[in-house]
Amino acid sequence: MKLTDTVVRSFRVAKVFRENSEKVNSLDFSANGELLISSSEDDQIVIYDCQNGTPKRTLNSKKYGVDLIHFTHAPNTAIHSSTKVDDTIRYLSLHDNKYIRYFPGHTKKVVTISMSPVDDTFLSGSLDKTIRLWDLRSPNCQGLMHVPGRPVAAFDPEGLIFAAGINSEMVKLYDLRSFDKGPFATFKLQQDRDCDWTGLKFSPDGKMVLISTNGQVIRLIDAFQGHPLQTFMGHTNQKGLPLEASFSPDSQFVFSGSTDGKIHCWNAETGSKVCVLNAEHTGPVQCIQFNPRFMMLSSACINMAFWLPQMDE
């Protein structure tokens, strides 16, 4: 099945999970689309089986808390940031709930983590105004950049370059092999006075960069020239929350949560609103992602919802 406006409009909640007692703060699909992992402010990590639509395991991180969870390339390991004790990033074995390695260095809250799509490298950015480059095999930071303000960062789909959004006003592109020489491109965007950039993602085709905020605007820019392509609005964010926005795997559509519990979808090329999907979300939808392999959308407030297209209606 191909994603079209009609298919997107047909998405309905197929299943709701109530595994958490506090809001889900991040989620991530495994590369093969078979698993989904979530972290929550109740210090729980929940792993879901996407094919059976069931919760598979729950792990607790009571001591350190958990946020910004990401699968590594092995589906039985994950990395996450901490919400308690310190700002160390932790590398966790999911099958026996043991930490494999710690990545210390950040001195304030980590606000962005991006795993390389091709190898064991990952990026982290923190309110300490640094972006760090790591390798899963070593606890030592592989590279450090000082930035003016809050960073957001992401790898491109090939894992060759990464983008850093700095101070909610510029995007800098770095070559991974020579990032210490500084950015090879800098795009200055109009500054959003009433909100901060809270997320940055490349489209799966590598041609666009999506910037999500803690305000009522989502920006889409061209990944090569930095030209503004679209400004997506109409979702609500009264609470200043970092609402995630995500692409569909074909880069055609952009999805975002909303503080009123609804899901908004836009066409990336035209900028037009495709639909507003009504979920059974009781609170703000802070996390939303499309499965990379299957025709399935996942969104979360305190509850986790799995969406499937209902084309036979």
Say how far apart CA 65 and CA 43 lie, in whole Å.
Answer: 5
285-309: b or e for each residue (b if 16 or more CB lie within 10 Å)? Answer: bbbbbbbeeebbbbbbbbbbbbbbb
The three-class DSSP label of residue 8 is helix
Q: Which helix (H) or strand (E) holds 6?
A: helix 5-9
Count how many domains the chain has.
1
Closest by Cα among 73, 66, 68 to 45: 66
CATH of the domain at 133: 2.130.10.10
Q: pTM of the predicted model, to two decimals? A: 0.93
Strand partners, 115: 122
In terms of residue numbers, what domain contains 204?
A: 5-309
pLDDT confidence of residue 259: 92
Gyration radius of the chain over CA positions: 18
Strand partners, 113: 124
Say how far apart CA 46 and CA 19 lie, in whole Å.
Answer: 8
- Mean pLDDT, the chain, rounded, equals 92
Say how far apart CA 54 and CA 144 lie, in whole Å.
Answer: 40
Strand partners, 254: 247, 266
pLDDT tens sequence for the chain (313 residues): 799 999 999 999 999 999 999 999 999 999 999 999 999 989 999 999 999 999 999 998 877 778 899 999 887 999 998 888 888 899 999 999 999 999 999 999 999 999 999 999 999 999 999 999 999 999 999 999 998 888 999 999 999 999 999 989 999 999 998 888 889 999 999 877 788 899 999 999 999 999 999 999 999 999 999 999 999 998 988 878 889 999 999 999 999 999 999 999 999 999 999 999 998 798 999 999 999 999 999 999 999 999 999 976 4
Say how far apart CA 64 and CA 261 lie, in whole Å.
Answer: 29
109-128: b or e for each residue (b if 16 or more CB lie within 10 Å)? Answer: ebbbbbbbbeeebbbbbbeb
pLDDT confidence of residue 313: 47
Query: pLDDT for 178-236, tens place per residue?
Result: 888 889 999 999 877 788 899 999 999 999 999 999 999 999 999 999 999 999 998 98
CB-based contact 73:120 (threshold 8 Å):
yes
